Copies of this chain bind each other. A is one copy, B any other.
Amino acid sequence: MEEVARRADVSRALVSIVFRELPGASAETRDRVRAAAAEIGYRPDHRARLLSRRETRLLGTVFHIGDEFQSDLLVELYAAAAAEGYELVLSGVTARRTEADAVHELQSLRCDALILLGPTMRASDLRTIGRLTPTVAVARAVAADVDVVRTDDVTGARIATKHLLDLGHSRIVHVDGGRSPGAAERRRGYQHAMRAAGLAGLISLQTGGLTEADGRAAALRLLAVGAPLPTAAFVFNDQSALGHVDAFRRAGVDVPADHSVIGFDNSRIARSVWTQLSTVGQDAPSLGRSAVDRAVGRLRQQSTPRRTTLVPPELVVRQSTRPLPDNR
């Protein structure tokens, strides 16, 4: 820095001002300083900067490595953070690196706030973290006293069911997510939609889960009961929906001609030409923006009450859902 100052023939303080983009230097001087820095390849030392600043302007983000949807979120978080003048610091969770490990790393960096993607830790641990640092939990309902930003699962399930209803279906089964996060909400949304359509009597729930195997098992149970089969199914998530479709097809049922299926998540596999699965997609851009907004908002105004932000999901119609044939 000293060297840059010397070359640009200004003071060290001025170099600092230029690199922090603060007022107090003429455009001409800024150019001169930047040129001098470029000459010797100077780049401000981030470590020193962090240490000396009162606030780090760091948003620590914990994510689960390999999670497809969290990747989408990270993309949005990077953009939103930059727009707010904050920097994102990533800390990944793996089988051998716990969420607690990841959080500790970020805490020791003195991040101003923490954004936790799909945290699975105990509510009490979350609360402890939240007391120390402003914390936003994303994409998971948690009972701890922290800000939460997540998709409105009830609405999502209602949208999915409504889509099938609009296509003329009435014998619609819901293969649920068992005890998975969000499963209760999606059951509720399905039931609401059915009741709203005056089809309370046709509400039909099958216990499912997160995996293809879960979807397959539930489908086999349905098929074992025999006719009348439901003409449509709303399945907890895309993975399970694929198992469901596969089981129905193997049993000789034409999907979607004789049986429509809609999933949830808009995961990558649902987009493949192989599957072309209709589904409900989470709004990653909104979730990302909201998460950063909440974090930054709390930093600006400490006393805001913690609250949950619900982001509505959107219907994604592909090839696995069709109007009910006239003869059914």
Answer yes or no: A153 CB below 8 A from chain B CBs: no
Assess the A43–B78 pair: CB atoms within 8 A. no
Interface string of A243-280 (1 = CB under 8 A from B): 10010000000000000000000001100111100000
Q: How far is the CA of A304 from the CA of B41 in the complex (A)?
A: 25
Residues of B within 8 A of A85 (CB): none
A211 nearest in chain B by CB position: B273
Answer yes or no: A218 CB below 8 A from chain B CBs: no
Answer yes or no: A71 CB below 8 A from chain B CBs: yes
Q: How far is the CA of A108 from the CA of B46 in the complex (A)?
A: 5
Assess the B90–A43 pair: CB atoms within 8 A. no
Assess the B75–A71 pair: CB atoms within 8 A. no
Answer yes or no: A72 CB below 8 A from chain B CBs: yes
Known contacts A43-B107, A78-B97: A274-B66 contact under CB 8 Å: no
CB contacts under 8 Å to B, within A52-92, are 56, 65-66, 68, 71-72, 74-75, 78-79, 82, 87, 90-92
Assess the B273–A212 pair: CB atoms within 8 A. yes
Assess the A78–B107 pair: CB atoms within 8 A. no
A231 CB, nearest partner CB in chain B, Å: 23
Interface residue tally of chain A, by bracket?
Answer: 35 or more
Residues of B within 8 A of A75 (CB): 65-66, 94-95
A87 nearest in chain B by CB position: B105
Residues of B within 8 A of A216 (CB): 273
Assess the B108–A43 pair: CB atoms within 8 A. yes
Interface string of A301-320 (1 = CB under 8 A from B): 00000000000000000000
Number of copies of this chain that the complex holds: 2
Assess the A72–B66 pair: CB atoms within 8 A. yes
Q: How far is the CA of A41 from the CA of B92 in the complex (A)?
A: 23
A248 CB, nearest partner CB in chain B, Å: 13
Answer yes or no: A172 CB below 8 A from chain B CBs: no
A128 nearest in chain B by CB position: B41
Answer yes or no: A96 CB below 8 A from chain B CBs: yes
Residues of B within 8 A of A48 (CB): 51
Q: How far is the CA of A58 from the CA of B176 in the complex (A)?
A: 45
Q: How far is the CA of A97 from the CA of B78 in the complex (A)?
A: 8
Q: How far is the CA of A274 from the CA of B250 in the complex (A)?
A: 11
Task: List 19 additional A-B contacts (Cβ < 8 Å) besides A82-B97, A269-B269.
Answer: A43-B107, A46-B110, A47-B47, A47-B56, A48-B51, A65-B71, A66-B71, A66-B75, A74-B92, A74-B94, A78-B97, A79-B96, A79-B97, A90-B90, A90-B92, A212-B272, A246-B273, A268-B269, A269-B274
| A residues apposed to B, CB below 8 Å | 41, 43-48, 50-51, 56, 65-66, 68, 71-72, 74-75, 78-79, 82, 87, 90-92, 94-97, 104-105, 107-110, 132, 212, 216, 242-243, 246, 268-269, 272-275
User: 4 tightest A-B contacts by CB?
Assistant: A46-B108, A66-B71, A90-B90, A47-B50
16 contacts between A and B (CB under 8 A): A41-B132, A45-B110, A47-B47, A47-B51, A47-B109, A51-B51, A65-B71, A78-B94, A78-B97, A79-B97, A90-B91, A242-B274, A243-B273, A246-B273, A269-B272, A269-B274
